[in-house]
Amino acid sequence: MRLPRTAHTSHPWRIHEIAGDFQVEDVWELPVTGGPDDLERLVRQFTGENRTALSAPVVRTLFAVRWKLGALLGWDKPAAGLGGRVETLRDRLPDDLRAGARGPDLRAVPFTSVYQAHDEWVAESANRTVHAVMHIGWVPDGAPGRHRARMAVLVKPNGLLGAVYMAGIKPFRYLGVYPKLLGAIGREWEANKTAA
């Protein structure tokens, strides 16, 4: 379910300290609930080798088209990414987050972990079009002891190219990627709970 931007901006996440110059593009409630300490398990699901959430044909096809287009237009060259065109958000971390867990990188898509805390995990990616941040938050759900995952996508488009790119991919994200991806994340979470 898509949430208003305030579902992210009104919560006192640590990401606000380091990404104030990014725009909140999307906020989604993930179909994932668990106990107060289960964010770690969700992070392992996101970064593991199984990658079921990215295996839906629509999602796989859209990502394949994006990588081909990026290769053709030179969007994803190392000089356009982290440590090239933009500095990693890790360089902005306050001492306590820098000394804490960084968290694992994603394997299926080029997102590098920035930090992992008890109730939030942040990963980033950059190319010629945009510097993007994925924030996974773990929030109380209202039921005693139950928490729910939220995903926020924060972006800093790279000039006119980035603004046009973000506008161009919006329909594909909303109609193809997010519905399939979020449903698959929920199914994988439930399957892993049953197997545990």
Question: pLDDT tens across 124-154, in order?
Answer: 999 999 999 999 999 999 889 999 999 999 9
Can you state the angle between helices 178-195 and 39-47, rounded to 10 degrees? 120
Give pLDDT, residue 142: 86
The three-state secondary structure class of 188 is: helix
Contact in structure between 39 and 136 (CB atoms under 8 Å): yes
Residues lower than pLDDT 70 in the chain: 49-56, 195-196
| Class of residue 61 by CB neighbours under 10 A (exposed 0-12, middle 13-18, buried 19+) | exposed
Give pLDDT, residue 177: 85
| DSSP tally for the chain: helices H, then strands E | 7, 5
The two structure tokens encoding residue 125? 């990616």
Does pTM top 0.85 for this prediction?
yes
Give pLDDT, residue 73: 87
